[in-house]
Amino acid sequence: MGQLVVIEGLDGAGKRTLADRLSGELQRRGATVARIAFPRYDDDVHAELARDALYGRLGDLSESVHGMAVLFALDRRAAADPLRELVARHEVVLCDRYVASNAAYGAARLHEDATGDFVSWVRELEIGRFGLPVPEIQLLLRVPVTLAASRAAGRAEADPGRAADAFESDCGLQQRCAAVYDQLAACSWLGPWVQLDATDAPGGVIDRLLTR
């Protein structure tokens, strides 16, 4: 049975780059690795609807914090069985965003912190009701909000089809979300967390994964 390892952080934090580094080094050391990323905008209708809402194509749906959270949660619910299969077949499954993203962004939109009702509601919905697998470890990639915003803007400029959505373009939201992420990590929400920054070598994390 493998380990579900989640990478969390702001838009533009460098989660995909970290996943590339971890995957390459784990495979170099002989571990079998699989990857998945949420939201699955091109593979699940719930995620597709969430994307449409974020770009203002579904009326006022994006204004509903709980409505958007349910769409993101349903995307993961649809992937629950394939995710379990990946965990069963590989030593490490790297997941770019997971349940904590829903908790952090929704709480930030409501101006709540990690002890608020919304975070508890997300946990009950996704873990309690939907029965999603609980991660073995969550990696919080911390970067300054201004740097993350700059990277997200650069990505949008380089790819005309990747314009910043309503969440990515809201600097205040990103700042509040970073604070909620820090709180989730501090209280070990859903299990252990490791905090990293862009300059950290992944070796220590890999050693920890391979010795569990």
pLDDT averaged over consecutive 10-residue blocks of the chain (212 residues)? 94 91 94 97 97 96 97 98 97 98 98 98 98 97 81 64 70 94 98 86 78 72
What is the predicted pLDDT for the residue at 157? 63
Domain locations in the chain as residue ranges? 3-41+75-210
Is 147 exposed, middle or buried (CB count within 10 Å of its CB: 0-12, 13-18, 19+)?
Answer: middle
Look at residue 131 in the predicted model and tell me its pLDDT: 97
DSSP 161-197: T----TTTT-HHHHHHHHHHHHHHHHTTTTS-EEEEE
Q: What does the pLDDT read at residue 10?
A: 94
Enter the pTM of the model: 0.89
Q: Please name which of 76, 169, 61 lies closest in space to residue 131, comparing C-alpha atoms.
A: 76
pLDDT score, position 156: 59
Strand segments (E) across 66-142: 92-96, 137-142
Q: Which CATH number fits domain 3-41+75-210: 3.10.20.30, 3.40.50.300, 1.10.10.60, 3.90.1640.10?
A: 3.40.50.300
